[in-house]
Protein backbone atom coordinates (compact mmCIF):
# COMPACT_ATOMS: atom_id res chain seq x y z
CA UNK A 1 0.00 0.00 0.00
CA UNK A 2 2.01 2.90 -1.29
CA UNK A 3 1.18 6.49 -1.83
CA UNK A 4 3.41 9.27 -3.17
CA UNK A 5 4.30 12.10 -0.80
CA UNK A 6 4.44 15.71 -1.95
CA UNK A 7 8.23 15.60 -1.34
CA UNK A 8 8.54 12.77 -3.88
CA UNK A 9 9.16 10.03 -1.31
CA UNK A 10 7.13 6.86 -0.88
CA UNK A 11 4.51 6.79 1.83
CA UNK A 12 3.80 3.49 3.56
CA UNK A 13 0.60 2.59 5.29
CA UNK A 14 1.32 1.85 8.94
CA UNK A 15 -0.64 1.62 12.19
CA UNK A 16 0.37 4.22 14.73
CA UNK A 17 -0.59 5.59 18.07
CA UNK A 18 -1.95 9.09 17.74
CA UNK A 19 -1.68 11.15 20.91
CA UNK A 20 -4.42 13.69 21.42
CA UNK A 21 -4.09 16.66 23.78
CA UNK A 22 -0.97 14.92 25.24
CA UNK A 23 -3.29 12.65 27.23
CA UNK A 24 -5.30 10.32 25.08
CA UNK A 25 -3.55 7.57 23.15
CA UNK A 26 -5.51 6.44 20.14
CA UNK A 27 -3.88 3.13 19.21
CA UNK A 28 -3.68 1.45 15.80
CA UNK A 29 -4.71 4.39 13.66
CA UNK A 30 -3.93 3.74 9.96
CA UNK A 31 -1.51 6.43 8.82
CA UNK A 32 0.50 7.00 5.65
CA UNK A 33 4.05 7.74 6.69
CA UNK A 34 6.73 9.21 4.42
CA UNK A 35 10.14 7.60 4.88
CA UNK A 36 11.89 10.63 3.41
CA UNK A 37 10.41 13.68 5.13
CA UNK A 38 8.56 11.96 7.99
CA UNK A 39 5.18 13.39 7.06
CA UNK A 40 2.12 11.57 8.43
CA UNK A 41 -1.29 11.55 6.79
CA UNK A 42 -4.21 9.78 8.41
CA UNK A 43 -5.63 7.14 6.03
CA UNK A 44 -8.46 8.90 4.12
CA UNK A 45 -10.96 6.08 4.80
CA UNK A 46 -10.81 6.69 8.56
CA UNK A 47 -10.01 10.42 8.71
CA UNK A 48 -13.58 11.52 9.29
CA UNK A 49 -14.12 8.98 12.06
CA UNK A 50 -10.86 9.88 13.82
CA UNK A 51 -12.12 13.48 13.68
CA UNK A 52 -15.45 12.48 15.20
CA UNK A 53 -13.74 10.50 17.94
CA UNK A 54 -11.49 13.42 18.83
CA UNK A 55 -14.55 15.69 18.77
CA UNK A 56 -16.31 13.45 21.29
CA UNK A 57 -13.30 13.60 23.62
CA UNK A 58 -13.71 17.35 24.00
CA UNK A 59 -11.03 19.88 24.89
CA UNK A 60 -10.15 18.50 28.35
CA UNK A 61 -10.13 14.72 28.03
CA UNK A 62 -9.05 12.48 30.89
CA UNK A 63 -5.98 10.34 30.16
CA UNK A 64 -6.79 7.02 28.54
CA UNK A 65 -6.08 4.70 25.64
CA UNK A 66 -8.53 3.97 22.89
CA UNK A 67 -7.99 0.91 20.67
CA UNK A 68 -9.03 2.43 17.35
CA UNK A 69 -8.97 -0.99 15.67
CA UNK A 70 -11.90 -1.97 17.88
CA UNK A 71 -13.80 1.24 17.20
CA UNK A 72 -13.38 1.36 13.47
CA UNK A 73 -13.77 -1.56 11.07
CA UNK A 74 -11.07 -0.38 8.67
CA UNK A 75 -8.51 -0.09 11.40
CA UNK A 76 -9.57 -3.57 12.53
CA UNK A 77 -9.13 -5.03 9.06
CA UNK A 78 -5.75 -3.35 8.66
CA UNK A 79 -4.52 -4.62 12.01
CA UNK A 80 -5.66 -8.13 11.01
CA UNK A 81 -3.76 -7.79 7.72
CA UNK A 82 -0.73 -6.52 9.62
CA UNK A 83 -0.78 -9.63 11.82
CA UNK A 84 -0.59 -11.79 8.73
CA UNK A 85 2.22 -10.12 6.83
CA UNK A 86 5.11 -7.81 7.60
CA UNK A 87 3.87 -4.99 5.44
CA UNK A 88 0.41 -3.96 4.38
CA UNK A 89 -0.14 -5.46 0.94
CA UNK A 90 -3.28 -4.67 -1.03
CA UNK A 91 -4.10 -8.37 -1.55
CA UNK A 92 -3.80 -9.20 2.15
CA UNK A 93 -5.94 -6.20 3.08
CA UNK A 94 -8.57 -7.14 0.49
CA UNK A 95 -8.75 -10.69 1.86
CA UNK A 96 -9.00 -9.49 5.48
CA UNK A 97 -11.74 -7.03 4.48
CA UNK A 98 -13.70 -9.69 2.63
CA UNK A 99 -13.50 -12.05 5.59
CA UNK A 100 -14.66 -9.34 7.97
CA UNK A 101 -17.59 -8.42 5.71
CA UNK A 102 -18.64 -12.08 5.54
CA UNK A 103 -18.35 -12.38 9.30
CA UNK A 104 -20.50 -9.27 9.82
CA UNK A 105 -23.07 -10.54 7.33
CA UNK A 106 -23.28 -13.85 9.20
CA UNK A 107 -23.84 -11.98 12.43
CA UNK A 108 -26.41 -9.79 10.73
CA UNK A 109 -28.35 -12.91 9.73
CA UNK A 110 -28.32 -14.10 13.33
CA UNK A 111 -29.38 -10.67 14.59
CA UNK A 112 -32.10 -10.61 11.97
CA UNK A 113 -33.46 -14.02 12.95
CA UNK A 114 -33.49 -12.89 16.59
CA UNK A 115 -35.24 -9.68 15.51
CA UNK A 116 -32.67 -7.76 17.50
CA UNK A 117 -32.99 -4.28 16.01
CA UNK A 118 -30.25 -2.68 18.12
CA UNK A 119 -27.73 -5.32 17.13
CA UNK A 120 -28.79 -5.12 13.47
CA UNK A 121 -28.28 -1.37 13.57
CA UNK A 122 -24.81 -1.72 15.08
CA UNK A 123 -23.84 -4.31 12.46
CA UNK A 124 -25.09 -2.20 9.55
CA UNK A 125 -23.12 0.68 10.94
CA UNK A 126 -19.97 -1.48 11.02
CA UNK A 127 -20.63 -2.73 7.50
CA UNK A 128 -21.01 0.81 6.22
CA UNK A 129 -17.62 1.69 7.70
CA UNK A 130 -16.11 -0.91 5.40
CA UNK A 131 -17.94 -0.06 2.22
CA UNK A 132 -16.63 2.34 -0.35
CA UNK A 133 -13.81 3.68 1.77
CA UNK A 134 -10.98 1.64 0.44
CA UNK A 135 -9.63 4.39 -1.76
CA UNK A 136 -6.44 6.27 -1.24
ZN1 LIG B 1 7.67 13.16 2.15
E-assigned strand segments in the chain: 2-4, 10-20, 24-34, 40-42, 64-67
What residue segments make up the domains of the chain, in order of their start? 2-130
Instruction: Determine what percent of the chain is predicted with pLDDT higher than 90.
Output: 64
Degrees (nearest 5) of the Cα angle 21, 27, 30?
Answer: 105
Region 109-129: mean pLDDT is 94
Judge whether residue 133 has pLDDT over 60.
Answer: no
Q: Report CA(4)–ligand 1 centroid distance (Å).
A: 8
Q: Report CA(134)–ligand 1 centroid distance (Å).
A: 22
Judge whether residue 119 has pLDDT over 90.
Answer: yes
The residues that bridge with 15 in the sheet, in sequence order, are 30
Q: Report CA(13)–ligand 1 centroid distance (Å).
A: 13
Q: For the chain, give the mean pLDDT.
A: 89
Residues 1-30: pLDDT tens digits? 678 999 999 998 899 999 998 999 999 999
Judge whether residue 34 has pLDDT over 90.
Answer: yes
Its sign, for the CA torsion 48, 135, 15, 7, is: negative
Q: Characterise 33 by phi-psi region: left (phi > 0), alpha (psi -120 to 50), beta (else).
A: beta
Q: Report CA(31)–ligand 1 centroid distance (Å).
A: 13
Region 50-67: mean pLDDT is 92
Q: Report CA(62)–ligand 1 centroid distance (Å).
A: 33
Residues 83-105: pLDDT tens digits? 888 777 788 888 999 999 999 99
Q: Report CA(11)–ligand 1 centroid distance (Å).
A: 7
Amino acid sequence: MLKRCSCGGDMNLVLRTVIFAKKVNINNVPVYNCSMCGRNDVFPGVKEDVGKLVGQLGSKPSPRSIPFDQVHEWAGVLSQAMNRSDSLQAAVIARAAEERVNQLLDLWLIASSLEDETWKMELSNRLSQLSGQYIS
